[in-house]
Structures are given as C-alpha cells and as structure tokens.
Amino acid sequence: MPIEILRENVRTAHQELARSINGHADHPLHQQRTAALDAFLEQGVPTTRHEEWKYTNVLPFIGIEYAMTLCTTCFITDAECARTIGPIADALESGWRIVLINGRIDRAHSSIPEHVPGLRILPLTDATIAADARIAGVVGSNAPAQSHPFVAMNLALADQGVVIHVDANVRLERPIHIACIADTRTSHRLSTPRIVVVAEQGSSFDVVESHHTIGDMTALDVTVAEVSVAANAHVRYHKVIDDGESMRHIGSTSADVARDGSFTAHTASLGGAFVRNDAAVRLCEPSSQGFLFGTSVLQGHEYADNHTTVDHCVPHCHSEELYKGIYDGSSVGVFNGKIYVRPQAQKTTAYQSSHAILLSERAQMNSKPQLEIWADDVKCSHGATTGQLDEDAVFYLQSRGIDAAKARALMTYAFVAEVIERIELPSLRQHLEERIAEKLGAEPFAE
Amino acid sequence: MTPILSIQQLTAGIEDREILKGIDLVVNPGEVHAIMGPNGSGKSTLASVLAGREDYAVSGGSVTFMGKDLLDMSPEERAREGMFLAFQYPIEIPGVSTANFLKTAVSELRKHRGLDPLEPAQFLALMREKMKLVEMDSSFLNRSLNQGFSGGEKKRNEIFQMAMLEPTLSVLDETDSGLDIDALRIVAGGVNALRSSNNATVVITHYQRLLDYIVPDVVHVLWNGRIVRSGDASLALELEKRGYDWIKNEASVEA
C-alpha cells in the first residue's frame, strides 16, 4: 500500500508544520497549505492509467519511507556544499546564491544579495505572505494544484522556500542561482522547495534553479516555481538537473505573462534516475510571449519527462517550444506538449517541435503533441521526430580523418546545440556545452 | 619509384553481388588518372572501397597505399595517411559549421603526423587562402556543413576540404556531375592548383568534359567491374566520339 503510506506521511508532516508555526494556522499561507493538502489527498498519487502520467510511473519510489520534516541533524559542511554545487555555481560566476537544504533556505551556505537596489530575496514563510499582498497573490496563482497532485503536495508542505521580488524597471546584471540540495546521507528524503518569483513592470533578469543530492539514499525532490511576469518584464528561468542515481525529481515551473512581457524557460535534464518537468506559460495579455526550451542528454537507466503547456488566452501573442534529446543505453524520454488557443486569441503564433536521437536499440522516446485551437485566425505548427544518427554522415566525417566515436559526439552535440544556443546567459550556456560534451564522451570540437 | 596506390586483382561487392571483378591499377606520384565508364560499371564502388565504406565487402585482391595495406585501415586512418575522397553526393551535417569541422579534421591529421595544432589565427589565414582557390565566400565557414548549399557549392566545398587536408591521393568521385561550366572551371582550377610531383589524383567521371580542364596522364575504361582499356588522354576523346558501346562490344568478345 505505498500510496496510503505516502498520503499518511504527507498528512502527518503537514500537521507538524501547523504546530511549528505556533498558533498562526489562520495565516493565509497556512490556509493555502491546508487547501492544498485536501487537493493532494483528493487526487491521490497518479498511476500510468492517468493520461498525464501515462509513460511516467512513480510507483516504484512512492512507497519508500521518506523523512519529510525539518532535519535538525542534517549538517552540511562548507566543503561538502562546495563539492556538490561547485561546478555550476563556479561556472555562473554570480555570487548571488540561495541554497535550499531539504527545501528550506540555508543562510549559512547562501550568499544572498542584501543591498542591490530593487531586488528583495525573502524566505517564503507565513510572516512574509501575511505582510505582502502582492507576493501572497502569486502563491498558488498559476501552478496547477487542482490537477497535479505533486504540485498540491508541494504547497501542502511548503515552508521556508524562496521569494524573489524585482522592482519595476530593474535590470539585474547577474543571474540569481537557487541551488536545491537534498541530504540523503541518513534517510530517504522528500523535499518540497517552493519558489516564488515576482517580476514587476519592465524588469529583466535570469534565474538558475539547480538540483543536487548529498548521500546515497533516495531523494524525492518535488519543486514548484511560480513566476509572475508583469507588463514589459522579461524573465529567463533556467533549470538544470545534473545529478546522480539518488535523484528523483518532480518539478513544475509556471508563469503568467502580462502585456509585452516575456517568459523563457529552459530545462536541461542531464542526469538523475527520474526527472519529470512540467513547464507552463499562460499568455494573459496581448503581445506577451512564451518560450519553452528543453535539452535531455541521458544514458543508462535515466529517465526524463517534459510536459509543457502553453495557454494563449488573448490575441496577438507568440509562443515557441523546442525540445531536443539524445538517448543512449536504456534511457527513456517523454515529451508531451499542450497548446491551448482560446476562442478570443486571434492572431496567435504558436510553434512547437520535439526531436530525439536514439543512440541505442534499448533507448525509448515517447512524444505526444496536443493542440487545442479554438480560434480561426492563427498560425500554429508542431513537429515531432525520433531517429537514429545518420551513419552516412558519420562516414563522411571519418573520411576526413575524424574517428567514428568523435564523429558521433560531434553530430549528437550539434543536434542539441541548437537548443543550447538559445540560452542567453553566456556563463550557463558555456557550462552546459561543457557538461554535455563530457557526457557524450568526447570533446566535440578541436581546441 | 614507389607507387602511391597499387591495386591488384581487387574484387568487391555489396551483399551477395560482386561489382568489382578484378581491378588492377597503379598510380605513381605526380600522375592524374581518369577512370571512365558507363553507369553501373563499378566506378563509385571503387571509390567507396578505397575510402573504406563498410557497406562494401572486399572478397579478394589487395590495395597498397604508400607501401601500407589500405584495406587494413579504418576510414579515418586512411584519411590521416593521406587518402581523400571527394564525394559524389556530399552529406549535409546540420549544426556542425564548416569551420569547426575543418578545425577538428586538420587537428586530427596534424596529430597523426606529430604536429601541434595550428594557432587559431594561423588556421583562419589558411582557410581564407584555400577558399580563394575555389572562389568560396568566407560566409560559408560559419554555416552548417553543406546544409542548404547548392550542388555547385557542395562540390566546391569538397575541393576546399581537399586543399585544407593536403592529401597524397585524391579520388574525385563524379565531382563534375551536375556542374555548370563556370562551376566546373572553378573546381578543375582548384584541383590543378593542388597538383604536385608528390601527390596524385584519380578522377572518376562519366563525361569527357571535365578532362578538358583536368588533363589526365592515363585514362582507364571501367566496364562490368574490370578495367577493359587504358590509354592516354586521347582515349577520352575517342570515347566522347564513339560512345561506350564499342568498348562494351570489344570487351564481350575478349571475355
């Protein structure tokens, strides 16, 4: 009865959270937690009979006894932290870093910018939400708790996540790095980081969310990021999952975009036993734009599922989706892309494509575009391909003196590079180029 | 004088079908050989076998390249040893720029020869110099290899690569097919500029036209998997005048 165990454990963890906030159960955040708990209990844990989880079986790791409550003995040294998040943190050269350990802000390992004009970084607590109606209004505003049990579970247990608030017309020079670490050295652990991003009118900035484990026991990392993009604001949200076999990640990144604003999400799935990413953008006012990009480079028994939703609510909006993956070994990829064009959303342009290369006979890719178009004056397209590497092209490169392994690396790398090149943050782009090259087993280009 | 290429009694085919039925050919330094023949005579098979395409199985005979057993080498080893095949149908490789591809290929070759990689500035200068040879615009360098290139551009790109890799033996597989007269002149001009007393060229063609521009020392006629006649450049002109039928008839009588 793994599902019942999980439900009971979440319910217990929620009650403990209520006790810890000391009689403030009537605070708005806690009321949302309680509503979310009900939504979670009502939906239950999805099985593969559920359309949204058709290819994605969570049951194998749902019955594990996870520790869920605040870990008072989890102590991570500076060296351990640096070793874990170092590669990406160093590459970003940002210095603005928020470290969440088991879903909660850890100030000791963070380096939170304190005096940057127009930038506020706050813990997501009952007090924060009670004090700021603008931030409170974003929590639960676009992440689909009613239709996604894990999004509901995240909110039911959300505590001490992160709020990023950027004032009108502020352009941040550096990316804000959010590193989520699960400590699984002494127990299996469920962590539920909640991230709230508010971009006021005309602001522009980058966020990088990365996920890590310390320890060999199982981490179930259920992360939800909600973004509110005000008029003419531009937010680029990058998510990197490049971890080991302990990691099971279920994440949701969603945004509402106002007039002339844009939201770009890029998800890189480069490792982890199980990765499910839901990326959603709702274009709420005319001339808003949404871009969803994804790269998966998997091998062994790795698994990555990208579910996307683009909701065109009004006329004159534009969206683009490009997902590319390389699957070796027995790895499995899923792409499920939904586009809604509402009846009033005339003059919509919406383009979606998903392409995969399978390097082994055991690797698998499942693609499902789902377009629902209710307006009649729109331009929408979708394309999904799955294929093997072109062996004639490999021979062509060999005939120029490049060995077969390097030729394959060069071509597979070039295949995903089309997505990586779209990343506007140079430090992250370079880091991902290097990591992908490393994972493909050869330096794709001569120095 | 050691020949650059020596083929003896080479037989090869695809699946169960034998296409090459005993080829003998010796190419010495400084020479240009033309291999002509009607469609289906085995010309492109010979080019593919020399480059090491796996689809073709060699069933007998030997190929010696610069004193080494060519058939024993992988395609990339052949290239590093100085063999170059200009493809009849150059492959499009999306996402790999011509410049990055050549940088990688040239580095592999230099490594094989015990040389350090070229400095980026040196390499760029080399590319610019060699591009002039085939009148290619430098904007091609940053475009994906052959992607969206016209037929003539692809063939010029093959000769550009040949110029960059400086092979000992170049095999041009129907490089002239589909080219208009201007492109043909440019391609042939590139090939002629690269000729020296230390290298050799094998031109595989269906048409005599190319040989007005690249004048061969020896012309061979390939028919039904065998070289049925060899001669000097005048043989090509005779073929042009009389067609292939008289060769076929004579060969059938001899067989």
Sequence spans of domains, chain B: 5-254
Do A274 and A405 lie in one domain? The reply is: no
Cβ <8 Å between A390 and B79: no
Both structure tokens of A298: 């998997």
Across chain B, mean pLDDT equals: 92
Determine the residue type at A335.
F
Q: Does B148 touch chain A (CB under 8 A)?
A: no
Judging contacts by C-beta atoms under 8 Å, the chain B residues touching residue A404 are 74, 76
Task: Report pLDDT digits (tens) over B189-208.
Answer: 999 999 999 999 999 998 88
**Are A70 and A204 found together in one domain?**
yes
Q: Is A378 a domain residue?
A: no
A105, pLDDT greater than 70: yes
Is A395 found in the same domain as A277? no
- A395/B53 touch (CB, cutoff 8 Å), yes or no: yes
Indicate the residue of B51, B95, B96 with minimum beta-carbon distance to A399: B51
**Residues of B with Cβ-Cβ distance to A417 under 8 angstroms:** 95
**Which tokens is A19 given?**
């006790």
Contact A77, A159 (CB under 8 A): no
A408 inside domain: yes
Taking residues A92-116, what's their average pLDDT?
Answer: 93
pLDDT per position as a tens digit, A201-211: 999 999 999 99
Q: Is the Cβ pair A404, B104 closer than 8 Å?
A: no
The minimal CB distance from A414 to the residues B54, B95, B109 is found for B95
Look at residues A240, A266, A285 and tell me which one is the last residue of a structural domain.
A285
Inform me whether the C-beta atom of residue B105 falls under 8 Å from chain A C-beta atoms: yes
Residue recorded with tokens 């060969």: B251
Cα–Cα distance for residue pair A122/A179, rounded to 1 Å? 15
- Least CB-CB distance to B93: which of A393, A398, A401? A393
Q: How far apart are CA A436 and CA A442, in angstroms?
A: 9
pLDDT of A26 reads 79
Domain boundary among A285, A314, A341: A285
Specify if A175 maps to a domain: yes
Residue B182's identity, in one-letter code, is D
Count the alpha carbons within 13 Å of B27 in the hemisphere toward its beta carbon. Answer: 29
The answer to whether residues A369 and A337 touch, using CB atoms and an 8 Å cutoff, is: yes
Return the residue in B98, B101, B146, B165 with the most chain A beta carbons within 10 A, the one to mutate for interface testing.
B101
Q: Which CATH number fits the domain B5-254, given the four candidates 3.40.50.1220, 2.60.40.1760, 3.40.50.300, 3.30.70.100?
A: 3.40.50.300
Confidence of residue A447 (pLDDT cuts 50, 70, 90): very low
Cα distances (angstroms) measured from residue A34 to each of A250, A256, B98: 21, 24, 59
Give the pLDDT confidence score for residue A63 in this predicted structure.
84
> In angstroms, what CA-CA distances link A189 with A69, A183, A184, A275, B152?
9, 7, 6, 16, 62
pLDDT given at position B166:
95
How far CA A41 is from CA of A3, A60, A146, A153, in Å, comes to: 10, 19, 11, 9
* Alpha-carbon separation of residue A96 from A171, A196, B200 (angstroms): 15, 16, 62
Triad A311, A314, A316: Cα angle to 5°: 105
As for how many domains chain A has, the answer is 2
At a CB cut-off of 8 Å and minimum separation 6, what does A379 contact?
A348, A349, A350
Residue-wise pLDDT for A366-405, tens only, equals 999 999 999 999 999 999 999 999 999 999 999 999 999 8
pLDDT at A343 over 90: yes
pLDDT of residue A287: 97
Q: Chain B contacts of A397, Cβ < 8 Å? A: 93, 101, 105
Measure CB to CB from residue B79 to each of A392, A399, A410 and give the nearest one: A399
Q: Convert the pLDDT of each residue in A170-223 to its tens digit.
A: 999 999 999 999 999 999 999 999 999 999 999 999 999 999 999 999 999 999
| pLDDT greater than 60 at residue A40 | yes
Domain annotation covers residue A315? no
Residues of A in contact with B108 (CB under 8 A): 401-403, 406, 446
How far from the centroid of its chain's Cα atoms is residue B249's Cα? 29
Q: Which pLDDT belongs to residue A442?
A: 60
Q: Which of residues 22-61 of B touch A (CB under 8 A)?
A: 51-54
Residue B19 has pLDDT above 50, yes or no: yes
Distance, C-alpha A141 to centroid of its chain: 17
Q: HSE (CB half, 13 Å, CA atoms) of A267?
A: 30
Q: How many CB atoms lie within 10 A of CB A218?
A: 22
A101 & A230 share domain: yes
Percentage of chain A surpassing pLDDT 90? 80
Average pLDDT of every residue of chain A: 93
Residue B176: is its pLDDT beyond 50? yes
Chain A with chain B: Cβ pairs closer than 8 A: 83
User: Using one digit for the tens of pLDDT, what is the confidence trace for B111-152?
Assistant: 999 999 999 999 999 999 999 999 999 889 989 999 999 999
Does one domain contain both A67 and A202?
yes
* A chain contacts of residue B104, beta-carbon cutoff 8 Å: 402, 406, 410, 445-446
DSSP A111: B
Interface confidence (ipTM) of the complex: 0.95
Domain of residue A76: give its range.
Answer: 2-285
Contact list in B for residue A395 (CB cut-off 8 A) is 51, 53-54, 75
Alpha-carbon gap: A401 to the closest alpha carbon of chain B (Å): 4
User: Which residues does chain A have within 8 Å of residue B107's beta carbon, measured at their own beta carbons?
Assistant: 446-447
